Amino acid sequence: MHTIKKLNKISPVIYDYLPKENYNVSSHLEDDSEGFIVRSADCHGMDFSENTIAIARAGAGTNNIPIDKCTEKGIVVFNTPGANANGVKELVIGAMIAASRNLPEAYDWAKTLKGQDGVAALVEKGKGQFVGGEVKGKTLGVIGLGAIGIMVANAASAIGMNVIGYDPFLSVDRAWSISMYTHKAEKLDELLEKADFITLHIPQNDKTKGFLSTPEFSKMKDGVIILNFARGGLVKTTSLFDAMDSGKVKKYVTDFPDDDMLCHPNVLAIPHLGASTPESEENCAVMAAKQMRDFFETGTIVNS
Ligand code: MLT
């Protein structure tokens, strides 16, 4: 019987792959379990016992897992790249259009009409107040052409946007070959200078922390809209605030706000909802459970 501790709520579909006869999977186990399945719990403070041999992160990012410590202790770490890509893609495209058409502001305003006389006249006023821009014909810069970035790029192309892709880790030719409609930027500057919208799809690590900071903001178009559904630390907060205060960044739409951002008028913040759909949660759980099963039963290490 293998023991696997769940550190977060994980879709019960895992039991289809980790049957009760062979696996004791529970959130009530001790911390000396052989495996852990984790979604967002921060594992940096954990001291793994000798018994622990595998951790599966039911999601793409691994910045909540102490990779170096796991490597030292010989613990295998899995993640589930691509399993929630569609959920994130749909949210990014939706949020981009919502930001461009001023939907959050219009929703807030419409609620203030409740109980007032002359709603029809006020609605007429609202139409003028919340005029937005269409995205067709505008340029989207996609930074990071992994599973999510490619899907976002292709969806944006399908609604008539020009797409420029840049990936700090892939060669430009590789990036281009996997995204039919994306113009490959040889240098990040080309993307920064041309994009009306910029969306981030790279992992956060020592190399990418503060990836967008003052030099990058200074090259962007005035009034750019930035979407960050990857990780908060990719954007240097002080530089972002300067860029928003000067009007360089018209809106910063983020799934990873910090406290200071919540009150800034240019920030549209949501609470890490990118993969929060039953479909994505199930896809991640299935991939994580299969990875654990294959590892425990055959020693196979598969990450996709
Ligand atoms: C991810 O890295 O894919 C997300 O953080 C997944 C999640 O929301 O759990």
pLDDT digits (tens, 9 = 90+) for 268-280: 999 999 999 999 9
Which atom of ligand 1 approaches the CA of 84 most closely? 3
Q: Whose CA is closest to 184, among 173, 194, 192?
A: 173
Q: Which residues line ligand 1 (CB under 6 A)?
A: 39-40, 59-61, 84, 272, 274-275
**Confidence at residue 204, expressed as pLDDT on a 0 to 100 scale:** 93
Ligand 1 center from residue 141 Cα (angstroms) = 22
Ligand 1 center from residue 24 Cα (angstroms) = 24
Q: What's the DSSP call for residue 235?
A: B
Counting ligand 1 atoms within 8 A of each CB, the residue from 8, 11, 39 with the most, and so the one to mutate, is: 39
Q: Whose CA is closest to 81, among 146, 11, 174, 153?
A: 146
What is the residue extent of each domain of the chain? 2-81+278-298, 85-269
**Confidence at residue 115, expressed as pLDDT on a 0 to 100 scale:** 75
DSSP string, 144-182: --SHHHHHHHHHHHHTT-EEEEE-SSS-HHHHHHT-TTE
Contact (Cβ atoms closer than 8 angstroms) between residue 11 and residue 285: yes
Q: CATH topology for 85-269? A: Rossmann fold (3.40.50)
Which atom of ligand 1 approaches the CA of 83 most closely? 3
Contacts of 194 (CB under 8 A, 6+ apart): 139, 141, 164, 221
Which atom of ligand 1 approaches the CA of 273 most closely? 8
Q: Name the residue at shortest CA distance from atom 4 of ligand 1.
A: 59
Ligand 1 center from residue 213 Cα (angstroms) = 24
Do 2-81+278-298 and 85-269 fold alike per CATH?
yes
Ligand 1 center from residue 286 Cα (angstroms) = 14
**Confidence at residue 74, expressed as pLDDT on a 0 to 100 scale:** 94
Q: According to the CATH classification, is domain 2-81+278-298 in 3.40.50.720? A: yes
Q: Which two tokens mark 129?
A: 């107040």
**Confidence at residue 175, expressed as pLDDT on a 0 to 100 scale:** 57
Ligand 1 center from residue 274 Cα (angstroms) = 7
Q: Which residues of the chain have pLDDT under 50?
A: none
Q: What is the pTM of this model?
A: 0.92
CA pair distance 112, 63, nearest whole angstrom: 40
For residue 290, the one-letter residue type is K
Ligand 1 center from residue 296 Cα (angstroms) = 24
